[in-house]
Amino acid sequence: MAKDTCGSAGVPRQFDRFCQMILKGDVMDYYRHLNYIQQNEIGLSVLSEEERMQLYCEDEYEGRDYTVFQAMEYDICVKNELLAEALDSIAETGRTVVLLAYYMDMSDAEIAERMHCVRSTSYRIRKQTLKKIKKKMEALMDEEKTIR
């Protein structure tokens, strides 16, 4: 008489073998993962102070540390007090052109389009305003030196 391989004793053995194969595959995946971590990752304690400083950023909130200027539909925060004071002392058109150019990274053509003028006009206004800002900042720095 032929042996019954699919009988009641064979099914548990087949299931047992199937589970062993699954576990062996999971163990191999786990060891591969550990090997990957060991080769590609390092602990934070190994990093130098300079490298750790590059891993974070600080949130910046509007407040007393800023001077806020309106330029077209943008609110532009200027941190530097000396620059903010110099910007505050010049005409609004020049201030707008400079803020859009240097804080919003707009080209002279983009600024001219928004201000409804030609590109050369926005270029001229920007250059003249920068000279005025420079003179004002130098004057403010001289005043500050004489006070001290």
pTM: 0.57
Reported as a single tens digit per residue, the pLDDT across 104-118 is 999 999 999 999 999
Positive/negative CA dihedral, 78, 84, 89, 95 = negative
One-letter amino acid of 131: K
Q: Is pLDDT above 60 for 143?
A: yes
Helix (H, G, I), strand (E, B) or coil at 89: coil
121: buried, middle or exposed (CB in 10 Å: 19+, 13-18, 0-12)?
Answer: middle
- Mean of the pLDDT values across residues 13-42? 92
pLDDT at 1: 47
Q: Is pLDDT above 70 for 20?
A: yes
- Mean of the pLDDT values across residues 131-143? 92
